[in-house]
Structure 1
Amino acid sequence: MNPTWNSGSDPDPIRIGALGWVRVILRGTALAVLVFGCLLLLLLIRLVEKPFFGLKRPLTPYITQFVCRAAFRILGMGFSTSGELMIEHGAVVANHSSWLDIFALNARKRVYFVSKSEVASWPGIGWLARATGTVFIERNPARAREQTQLFEQRLLAGHKLLFFPEGTSTDGFRILPFKTTLFAAFFSDELRNIAHIQPVNVIYHAPRGEPARFYGWWGDMEFAEHLLKTLAVRRPGSVELVYHPAVRVADFANRKALAAHCEGVVRACHDARITDQATRIR
């Protein structure tokens, strides 16, 4: 299990006024109805979808995508993307700043997340993850071959996988070194020549008057508190996705070279956008 990243300073204090609590109730109720209402619909459709299509999910991913797009409308957050979506078999890798990353990346592209096995047992989040087809893995070298086979099954079924190579979330103002472990699965004999990897940047723009790291979620920060401040803010900020060109796994000598390439692309874009944001603030 990867350690969580800590900033070295305390999180920004959360202050919610009377009107903020009204927004929490209104937005929170709408979000709950959306998420759990559509989850029920998804499970019902999956009862028919699974026997006929197995791993393939021709219908339910559209429900997940609708929920994630609608969630940003309820939150009042701006949402924008640039770059072309990968059409080849393979995976998407992105930097990780917040639980909102899952909504943002699902809103743009129908993907299946790769997550540590512990998440499957988390109340609420674990249920949603299992229902939407998340691939759960154990960070155990003894099960590496088994997990590679799982990746192969999902990719050959046409699934686009998505994982966060940093291994943990940050405040959104840095890119941590990309861990190479999960990249190894794509170098199997079955996948090496057909798999592609697409790097993506997830960039948050804080609400006006709020700290620049407002949407960052890291360390020991509680999910409930972060959700409350996201629901309560008067003038929400926005999230931006930047999709970079996909690269073919077979063009790289090994997982370290592939991970280094993806990290370099994401880091260069991140540094340019953060510098641009700082310039605008001045």
Structure 2
Amino acid sequence: MSATWREGDPMPLPGPRGVAGWWRVIRRGLPAVLVLLLGVALILPLRGIERLVHGRRRPWTGPHVQLVCRLVLACIGIRWRRVGQPMRGPGAVVANHSSWLDILVLNAALPVIFVSKAEVASWPGINILTRVTDTHFVARDPRLAAAQAEEFAARTRAGHRLLFFPEGTSTDGRRVLPFKPTLFQGFLAPDLPAGLAVQPVSADYRAPDGADPRFYAWWGDMDLGPHLLSVLAAPRQGGVVVTLHPPLATAGQTRKSLAVKSEELVRAGVMGAMLDSGLPAGTPSHISPVQPTDTPKDA
């Protein structure tokens, strides 16, 4: 069984308070849902035409997904900023994992296709996001490993950038867990394109003024519905900084060396963004490796 990170007391979820709180939920949530539904309605025929013209490549639907995610973030009121440039050439992306908002935030920053466990496809609300973003689902079944590896290779050869969460679970956003080296073995398969690289990405969420620094994080046993309502009902919204680090060439690497180098860059990006925001870095435990326990909550 995979791991879910837990540490300390769970974060209180204030939720909507009074008429004003529920009005903010409606004012932000309704436009966001409409944008998502319109995005799904448009991307299905667009992808059909794109497939006829470009095969598995995504020169049209990639930017479409980016636009949809940026509009949803604008509807919610969450500000975002990108530092660095997306990689060129074939490759994959690895990032730290803090929230269901990662789907919107990371897609807004660069065209990617998320890799997630198959169960996520049935989660209410999240399943709409996965449809818009063409999420790549994997089943934790050794009998399917070879077929799933071939699908990963086929997508990579088609120019898709698959995004993995090597921590294997989400956290409170104030730390980065150890990256699992086994995930990086797929980046070293011989049938992948020559010149393949892995781009580490750090996502650092800035809570609204006066709110718990973990406000946007979703981890452990937290329910999606109450967390979503708390985000929508916030009197003020915060933001997120997405740092795109220089890509790491896979040639000459081992899965362990790729995991270590990627983890170092992602952790440094999270710590640097915290310091730039004026938040206290605190003790090293805020960003140091912490071993997870139990079952995963990856979006």
TM-score normalised per structure 1: 0.92
Identity over the aligned pairs, expressed in percent?
45
Correspondence for 1:83: 84
Q: Is the 8 A contact 1:165 1:178 kept in 2?
A: yes
Q: Give the CA deviation at 1:274.
A: 3.3
What one-letter code is carried by the residue in structure 2 that aligns with 1:134? T
Q: C-alpha separation between the residues in 2 aligned to 1:50 and 1:181?
A: 32
Gaps of 5+ in 1: none
Amino acid of the structure 1 residue aligned with 2:244: Y
Q: Secondary structure at the match of 1:240?
A: strand
Equivalent residues of 2:13, 2:230 under 8 A apart: no
2:267 is matched by which residue type in structure 1? R
| SS of structure 2 residue aligned to 1:151 | helix
Residue 14 of structure 1 corresponds to 14
**Partner amino acid for 1:117?**
A
Measured at CA, do residues 130 and 71 of structure 1 come closer, stay the same or move farther in structure 2, by a change above 3 Å?
A: closer
The answer to whether the 8 Å contact 1:115/1:136 transfers is: yes
Is the 1:31–1:74 contact (alpha carbons within 8 Å) kept by the matching residues of 2?
yes
Counterpart of 1:114? 115
* Corresponding residue of 1:92: 93
Conservation of the 8 A alpha-carbon contact between 1:65 and 1:106:
yes
Q: Which residue of 1 aligns with 2:50?
A: 49
Rate the CA distance shift 1:78–1:136 in 2: closer, same or farther, 3 A: same
Partner Cα distance (1:264, 1:32) in 2? 37
Runs of 5+ unmatched residues, structure 2: 283-299
Partner of 1:23 in structure 2? 24
Task: Answer with 34-43 or 119-128: which moved more.
Answer: 119-128
Quote the Cα distance in structure 2 between the aligned partners of 1:220 and 1:35: 26
CA displacement at 1:171 relative to structure 2 = 0.5
Provide, for residues 135-192 of structure 1, a one-character-per-residue CA deviation record: whole Å limited to 9, x for no partner: 1112233332222211110011011111111111111011111112221111111227
User: Within 2, Cα distance between the matches of 1:15 and 1:223?
Assistant: 12
User: Secondary structure, in 3 states, of the residue corresponding to 1:250?
Assistant: coil
User: Is 2:81–2:242's contact at 8 Å kept on the other side of the alignment?
Assistant: yes
Q: RMSD value over aligned CA atoms?
A: 1.9
Any conservation in 1 of the 2:87–2:199 contact (CA below 8 Å)?
yes
- Map 1:178-197 to 2 at 5 A: 178-191=179-192, 193-197=194-198
Q: What letter matches 1:8 in structure 2?
A: G
Comparing 200-209 with 117-126, which one deviates more in the overlay? 117-126
| Cα distance, 1:10 vs structure 2 | 2.1
Which amino acid is the alignment partner of residue 265 of structure 2?
V
Give the letter for the 2:6 counterpart.
N
Measured after TM superposition, the shift of residue 240 of structure 1 is: 0.5
- The equivalences for 1:228-243 within 5 A come to 228-243=229-244
Compute the TM-score of the two structures, normalised by the length of structure 2: 0.87
- In the TM superposition, residue 128 of structure 1 has moved relative to its aligned partner by 3.8
Aligned to 2:288: none
Superposition deviation, residue 280 in structure 1: 9.2
**1:139 counterpart residue number:** 140
Question: What is the DSSP-based 3-state SS (H/G/I as helix, E as strand, rest coil) of the residue aligned with 1:81?
Answer: strand
1:67 matched residue in structure 2: 68
| Superposition map of 1:175-254 within 5 A | 175-191=176-192, 193-252=194-253, 254=254
Q: Distance in 1 between matches of 2:44 and 2:199?
A: 30
1:130 is displaced (CA, Å) by 3.9
Letter in 1 for 2:16: I
The 3 A distance-change label for structure 1 pair 273 and 57 is closer
Do 1:171 and 1:218's aligned partners in 2 also have CA atoms closer than 8 Å? yes
Name the counterpart of 2:286.
none
Per the alignment, residue 261 of structure 1 pairs with 261
Q: State the aligned residue count.
A: 280
1:216 and 1:131 map into 2 onto residues whose CA distance is: 22
Decide whether aligned partners of structure 1 residues 130 and 235 sit closer, same or farther in structure 2, where only a CA change above 3 A counts.
closer
Q: CA deviation at 1:39?
A: 0.8
Report whether the alignment pairs 1:158 with 2:151: no
Matched-pair contact (CA < 8 Å) for 2:16–2:22: yes
d(CA) in 2 for partners of 1:118 and 1:28?
A: 24
Q: State how far apart, in whole Å, the 1-side matches of 2:11 and 2:281 are.
A: 24
